[in-house]
Amino acid sequence: MEDPQNGWTSFESFVATRLTALYRYAMVLTGDRHDAEDLVQEALTRTGVRWRRVVRVSGGTVVGMDPWSRPWAAKGCAKGATVGGEADEPVAFSYPDVFVVDPHKADGLRQIDVDSGSVVAERPLPEGVGVRPAGAQRWQLWLAAANRDTFAWVVDSVLRTADRATWQVTEARRGLPTATELNWGGRMESTGEKIDMHPHLYGSLTMGNRLIAYSAVDLVAETGWRSVVYDPRSGQSFELRGLVYAAGDWLVWPDGASYRLARVR
């Protein structure tokens, strides 16, 4: 699913809505529960590695990651062009601005105009986000989203927002649902091929024109998807079960094999 505002092409949504069907198909192929689980795990690992390269769509422009995790942007059917530096990673996009991070620098957050390629602003890493040690195999994980007025991020189960004009930071919500940290990789038993995947959170942060939606699943506690929707204007939030996205003037959530929409008033 693509979020028109933040452009998240959600691997988590794909897994949440198709895991049961994938497992049933794997059972048909293997006839054994353990072999079916191994087959699904391998398939999701391979898919997840590639899925993360296309991450955001906004204003008719796609922002993704190349095989070296560098950000690129393409409009329509045009060939993509690299945006930012060698170490930059895209974290949020609201056309025409992509937010990229060099996680190894304390002042590593940059805002880049994808049309001109120029740097609009340079800022410190968001509050609560630490510098990633060189050569680290695991590191602090966080999520970000943006719209034309606000940059938002979740780190250590705390939602914060920053006004894009002044960069005044507001601590919006503490105690968010825990998202499982995934660090897939290793050597695939069936082929012996080594596949690496950067650590990531089994969660989603999206932002519409007004609302922010955070969803997470704790695979250890087996609580299923839990979401928090936050309104920066009023400071109010509410919790609900299931996976939710904010996009433009809408909230979007999966309902079986389809999606439901609710307009924000």
| Residue 199 included in any domain | yes
Residues 142-157 have a mean pLDDT of 95
Domain range for 214 is 138-265
Whether residue 15 contacts residue 41, with contact meaning beta carbons closer than 8 Å, is answered with: no
Lowest mean per-residue pLDDT among 99-108, 193-202, 223-232, 254-263: 193-202
**Do 146 and 224 sit in the same domain of this protein?**
yes
Instruction: Give the single-character DSSP code of 10.
Output: -
- Whether 74 shows a pLDDT value over 70: the answer reads yes
Residue with more model confidence, 41 or 224:
224
DSSP conformation class of 2: B
Asked if the structure places residue 96 within a domain, the reply is yes
Q: Are residues 154 and 183 in the same domain?
A: yes
- Tell me how far apart the alpha carbons of residues 83 and 89 are, in angstroms, rounded to a whole number: 10
Q: What confidence tier does 75 reach under pLDDT thresholds 50, 70, 90?
A: confident
The answer to whether residues 108 and 145 belong to one domain is: no
CATH number of the CATH domain containing 118:
2.40.10
103 and 143 housed in the same domain: no
Who wins on pLDDT, 199 or 46? 199
> What pLDDT is recorded for position 150?
96
Number of domains in the chain: 2
Instruction: Lowest mean pLDDT of 51-65, 96-110, 143-157, 188-202, name the range.
Output: 188-202
Across the range 50-58, mean pLDDT stands at 58
Q: What is the pLDDT of residues 10-53, one digit of tens each?
A: 555 556 656 677 778 778 778 888 777 777 766 665 555 445 55
Are 166 and 228 in the same domain? Answer: yes
pLDDT at 1: 39
Q: Does any domain span residue 75? A: yes
**173 and 152 housed in the same domain:** yes
Let me know whether 152 and 250 are in one domain: yes
At which of 125, 157, 186 does a domain end?
A: 125
In a domain, 72, yes or no: yes
Nearest to 215 by CA among 146, 159, 260: 159
Residue 2 has pLDDT above 50, yes or no: no
User: Per the domain annotation, does 44 fall within a domain?
Assistant: no
240 shares a domain with 143: yes
Task: For the chain, give the mean pLDDT.
Answer: 80
Same domain, 81 and 172: no
- Predicted confidence (pLDDT) at residue 73 exceeds the cutoff of 90: no
Task: Please identify, among 125, 152, 168, the residue that sits at the C-terminal boundary of a domain.
Answer: 125
The helix/strand/coil state of 69 is coil
174 lies in the same domain as 235: yes
The answer to whether residues 234 and 154 belong to one domain is yes
SS3 251: strand
Mean pLDDT of 72-85: 73
Q: Given this model, what pLDDT does residue 196 score?
A: 52
Residue 43, in any domain of the structure: no
Is 59 a member of any domain?
yes
Section 225-250 average pLDDT: 93
- pLDDT at residue 110 in the model: 94
pLDDT at position 258: 80
Q: What pLDDT is recorded for position 28? A: 79
Query: Is the pLDDT reported for residue 163 higher than 80?
Result: yes
* pLDDT > 80? residue 117: yes
**Six-digit token string for 64:** 């993704």
pLDDT at 91 exceeding the cut of 80: yes
> Same structural domain for residues 111 and 151?
no
Q: For position 232, what pLDDT does the model report?
A: 93
Last residue of a domain, one of 125, 151, 172: 125
CA distance 146 to 264: 17
Measured CA to CA, the distance from residue 27 to residue 40 in angstroms comes to: 10
**172 in a structural domain:** yes
Amino acid at residue number 114? V
